[in-house]
């Protein structure tokens, strides 16, 4: 019987040294100090309400059994049921899951939807697994955490290396366990089993609504703007596609785990995506110059989209960032040390839990549709998303200007204040 070593739990997610949970707590502490939160409230909100670790034996195609480690972390349900994706990643860590659960609490609060924050993860390499093995692992995970889940408790969704198909398997397993057709227990599902129109590009589309508002505030003409995207997965590729479709924005550079590419005249986002799907990477795209992923971050562009993983903009490289607006499509791409450097240099950062909140917002709309047995059109979903993201951006911008702080700190002030208010009103503290 094979097993994933427990030492993996202590390894960082990828090549970065920073601990994302420590980053999340440091960011919270700054807001808590500015809000003058009472000591008990600070202790309560800076760590998860509950978390569980599970062991998942799976029969592999070669006849062996591999035991995978998984987690579900629920940071806060003060404002409503927990909400958060499930990651399948070979270097997943419990601290990463804790950080993402905390960020999800602030994310749902800053866009003012009645949900809390949670997150899940499994340590595995999905790229080395068959569809049958992935289905077995997906169902095993749900069997172990089902007691924590439910439309009124905690609602998962897809995240890194998980898909709508995997959400369908998980939803089906939960329904079998409970004997109820609770399609709303999982979001990000295929349309045929309760998914929502507009969910596929919701993260990038929601981010673009905030970028549009930022461009208006700073007098930027998006039709002549250039952009670079680090991370050409779901959010990153849609960011490039929608930038061209909605605003006429020119993508000059993109990267993925294999490396980066650059073309001063502009790349065709759809052609780059086809190349990645055919070859496994954007690297080698015809007519493009090869760059490192780090070099993509430091190009002189109007818009920079960090859409990969955590801690790619740091105290070490923040002075070399040349973009006018940084749209954080990824979770935690900027370290606490980098924030003041970017702010002092006049770079407008749209923080992650505001910028990429379009995904959870449309997941919430999926829950609403499932509850009411209704189906909205893509236009209706996008109209509602536009309103939510625009309102949230200006609430954060107003707080930033009122307190003369960067946008991340302002977003924390808005979100933490809303969650703390709910905690007090419920009589917990």
Compute CA distances 33 → 38, 163, 336, 413, whole Å: 9, 39, 16, 10
d(CA 187, CA 172): 12
Chain centroid to CA 16: how far?
Answer: 18
State the SS3 of 121-144. Answer: EEECCHHHCCHHHHHHHHHHHHHH
Both tokens of 134, joined, read 């992935």
Both tokens of 348, joined, read 């407008």
State phi, psi for 162 to the nearest 5 degrees: -120, 155
d(CA 309, CA 89): 12
Q: CB-based contacts of 43: which residues, under 8 Å, 6+ apart? A: none
CB 182 within 8 A of CB 150: yes
Q: Measuring CA to CA, which residue among 85, 418, 109 is closest to residue 234?
A: 85
Active site residue 107: no
Q: CB-based contacts of 257: which residues, under 8 Å, 6+ apart? A: 281, 293
d(CA 88, CA 124): 6
Q: CB-based contacts of 168: which residues, under 8 Å, 6+ apart? A: 186, 189, 190, 193
Q: Do strands 65-76 and 50-59 pair parallel, antiparallel, or not at all (unpaired)?
A: antiparallel
CB 233 within 8 A of CB 256: yes
Q: Which of 119, 189, 276, 388 is catalytic?
A: 119
- Sign of the Cα pseudo-torsion (392, 394, 398, 401, in order): positive
CB 365 within 8 A of CB 114: no
Q: Measuring CA to CA, which residue among 374, 316, 362, 367 is closest to residue 186?
A: 367
- Sign of the Cα pseudo-torsion (323, 324, 328, 333, in order): positive
Alpha helical stretches, state H, 223-345: 234-242, 269-279, 293-297, 338-344
- In the DSSP assignment, the letter for residue 116 is -
Percent helix, strand, coil in the chain (nearest 5)?
50, 20, 35
Query: Any idea which residues carry the catalytic annotation?
Result: 119
């Amino acid at each position: 019987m094979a097993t994933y070593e427990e030492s993996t739990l202590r390894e960082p997610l990828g090549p970065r040294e920073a601990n994302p949970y420590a980053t999340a707590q440091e960011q919270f502490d700054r807001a808590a100090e500015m809000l003058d939160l009472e000591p008990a409230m600070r202790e309560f909100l800076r760590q998860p309400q509950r978390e569980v670790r599970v062991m998942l034996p799976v029969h592999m195609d070669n006849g062996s059994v591999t035991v995978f480690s998984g987690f579900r972390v629920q940071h806060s349900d003060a404002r409503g049921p927990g909400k958060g994706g499930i990651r399948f990643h070979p270097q997943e860590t419990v601290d990463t899951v804790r950080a993402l659960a905390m960020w999800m609490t602030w994310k749902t609060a800053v866009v003012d939807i009645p949900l809390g924050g949670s997150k899940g993860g499994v340590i595995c390499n999905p790229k080395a697994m068959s569809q049958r093995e992935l289905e077995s692992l997906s169902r095993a995970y749900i069997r172990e955490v089902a007691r924590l889940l439910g439309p009124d408790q905690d609602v998962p969704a897809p995240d890194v290396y998980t898909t709508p198909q995997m959400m369908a398997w998980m939803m089906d397993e939960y329904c079998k366990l409970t004997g109820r057709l609770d399609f709303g227990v999982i979001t990000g599902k295929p349309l045929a089993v309760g998914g929502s129109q507009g969910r596929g590009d919701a993260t990038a589309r929601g981010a673009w609504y905030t970028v549009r508002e930022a461009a208006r505030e700073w007098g930027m003409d998006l039709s002549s703007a250039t952009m670079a995207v680090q991370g050409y997965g779901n959010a990153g590729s849609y960011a490039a596609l929608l930038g061209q479709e909605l605003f006429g924005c020119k993508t000059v550079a993109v990267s993925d785990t294999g490396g980066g590419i650059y073309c001063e005249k502009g790349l065709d986002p759809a052609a780059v995506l086809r190349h990645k799907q055919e070859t496994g990477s954007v690297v080698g795209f015809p007519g493009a110059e090869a760059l490192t992923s780090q070099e993509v971050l430091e190009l002189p562009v109007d818009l920079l989209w960090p859409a990969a993983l955590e801690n790619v903009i740091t105290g070490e490289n923040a002075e070399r960032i040349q973009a006018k607006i940084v749209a954080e499509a990824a979770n935690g791409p900027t370290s606490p040390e980098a924030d003041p450097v970017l702010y002092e240099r006049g770079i407008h950062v749209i923080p992650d839990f505001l910028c990429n909140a379009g995904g959870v917002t449309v997941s919430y709309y999926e829950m609403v549709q499932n509850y009411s047995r209704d189906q909205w059109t893509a236009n209706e979903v996008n109209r509602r998303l536009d309103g939510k993201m625009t309102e949230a951006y200006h609430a954060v911008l107003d707080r930033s200007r009122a307190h003369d702080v960067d946008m991340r700190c302002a977003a924390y002030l808005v979100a933490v204040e809303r969650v703390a208010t709910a905690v007090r009103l419920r009589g917990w503290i």
